[in-house]
Chains A and B, each alone.
Chain A
Amino acid sequence: MNCKETQEVIHAYLDGELDLVHNLAIERHLNDCPACAQSFRVQQSLRTTMASRPIYFEAPEGLEKRLRSAVRQASKAESPRWKWRWGTNRGWPRLLAPLAVAALVVLIAVPILMHSSTEDRLAQEIVSGHVRSLMADHLTDVPSTDQHTVKPWFNGKLPFSPPVTDLAAQGFPLIGGRLDYMENHPVAALVYQRRKHFINLFIWPSTRNSSAAEDFRTKQGYNAIHWSQGAMEYWAVSDVNKGDLGDFVQLLKSGASRPSPP
């Protein structure tokens, strides 16, 4: 890679948007070329300076209230039409139709919902766990980017040994581990980073025999993916986009089949 090519993709490199091959090519060039290395350092320094100055505008007090009341008004403006339409539904044949629908719902949908609601409740618990870990400033009990430090840390704290894989080279550096509590038992929580976002990966032993297919959900703006593999249940949850989280899961799935030696 020459200087011109390097300058073209130097920002993508800075932003972690390049694939492994290009990353390596750039790194080689930066090692050899002082001019490009210098301009890279300048951009890097601009970036850290921006990140460390308070230039993010927090919403002013009162905006939240203002937005809620505006939206409620808009909602009221929409709803009278609803009631009016219901009001015209007179006569008993029309009453029977909703009843028939209700009966169908009970017969068909309830069993499906019962199943999905267990999963849904768990998803909610997972998202809450993720939010809590970020709010309480208690992301990790063992902050370490080394899988050989994180894995043994769980020894004696959990009745199982979770597979720990570092994915730093793939853009998801491991930053630590934590004990958490899900579905009434202790679970392992591994924390990964994706740019400025965090991913919580919850792991506990599976109670079912077969592997479950991936299940994707969005809750409160967070994405969560659930799957089971090798007698373990996995939930990955984060505010990174669906594509990134999907990539993360694929990397784990291919890596988890050869867990790190204890």
Chain B
Amino acid sequence: MEEQDKLARFEQSIMPHMNAAYNLARWLAGNDPDAQDVVQEAYLRAFKFLGGFRGGDSRSWLLRIVRNSFYDWLKRNRREDPVTEFNEELHGRADETGTPDALLLEKADHELLHKAIAELPLEFREILVLRELEGFSYKEIAEVADVPLGTVMSRLARAREHLRALVVQRLELK
């Protein structure tokens, strides 16, 4: 591909998704400087492999690269998973805690919600972000996160149950 064409194509299909790339990286990395590094790495990779992008949805193509860049970055920079093991006992299972009223959840402000999402294990957080913030279909999530469709479904269900439990817990502590 001629460099000028490649740059133009990059400008058209990849640059418009910068916010989506940053949002995912920011939720995964947990802070701004690291998220920016991850996005830059992802953009360089996307540019390098642009020839391999055969049309289709460029946003999910890019987000898949962002996700891979993040996990590579994590391997290089951290000795272990930044998130502490999730304790299901502590947070309680959904079925046992009963179902609080829907109205209670609406009291969660963005700060509380933010902290609760940030506390979710990575594998749940990424799927939740792709679904709720990017509006991806299960099929698109399966492609970006590189897992089978059934896994998307079960992880999303568990992610939401955990999030609900965390939000309720924090609201009750207030």
Contacts and interface: CB of A to CB of B under 8 A. Distances in A.
Interface of A: 10-12, 15, 17, 35, 38-39, 41-51, 53-60, 63-64, 66-68, 70-72, 74-75, 78-79, 82, 195-197, 218-221, 223, 239, 241-244
Interface string B118-149: 00000000000001110101111000000000
Given A43-B160, A63-B18, A74-B48, A242 B57 contact: yes
Contacts of A219: 12
A58 to B, nearest CB: 6
B129 to A, nearest CB: 9
A68 B39 CA distance: 12
Contacts of B73: none
A111 B137 CA distance: 40
Interface centre among B7, B26, B57, B94 (most CB of A within 10 A): B57
A141 B134 CA distance: 27
Interface of B: 3, 6-7, 10, 12-13, 15-19, 21-23, 26-27, 32, 35-36, 39-40, 43-44, 47-48, 55-60, 94, 99-103, 105-106, 108-110, 113-114, 117, 131-133, 135, 137-140, 153, 156-157, 160, 163-164, 167
A197 B59 CA distance: 13
Given A43-B164, A71-B44, 5 more contacts: A57-B22, A57-B26, A59-B19, A67-B43, A241-B56
B27 A57 contact: yes
Contacts of B18: 59, 63-64, 67
A59 B132 CA distance: 18
Contact of A75 (B6, B55, B163): B6
B153 A67 contact: no
A149 B131 CA distance: 33
15 contacts: A38-B99, A42-B105, A44-B102, A50-B132, A56-B19, A63-B36, A64-B18, A70-B43, A71-B7, A71-B10, A74-B48, A221-B12, A221-B13, A223-B57, A241-B140
B99 A42 contact: yes
Contacts of B108: 49, 53
Contact of A82 (B3, B10, B139): B3
Nearest to A11: B157
Given A44-B102, A45-B102, A221-B16, A196 B135 contact: yes
Nearest to B131: A15
B160 A55 contact: no
A55 B59 contact: no
B119 to A, nearest CB: 13
Contacts of B100: 42
Contact of B156 (A11, A53, A72): A11
A53 B109 contact: yes
B147 to A, nearest CB: 15
A58 B55 CA distance: 26
Contacts of B13: 218, 220-221
Contact of A63 (B10, B22, B56, B131): B22
A52 B24 CA distance: 18
Contacts of A196: 135
Contacts of B36: 60, 63, 66
B110 to A, nearest CB: 4
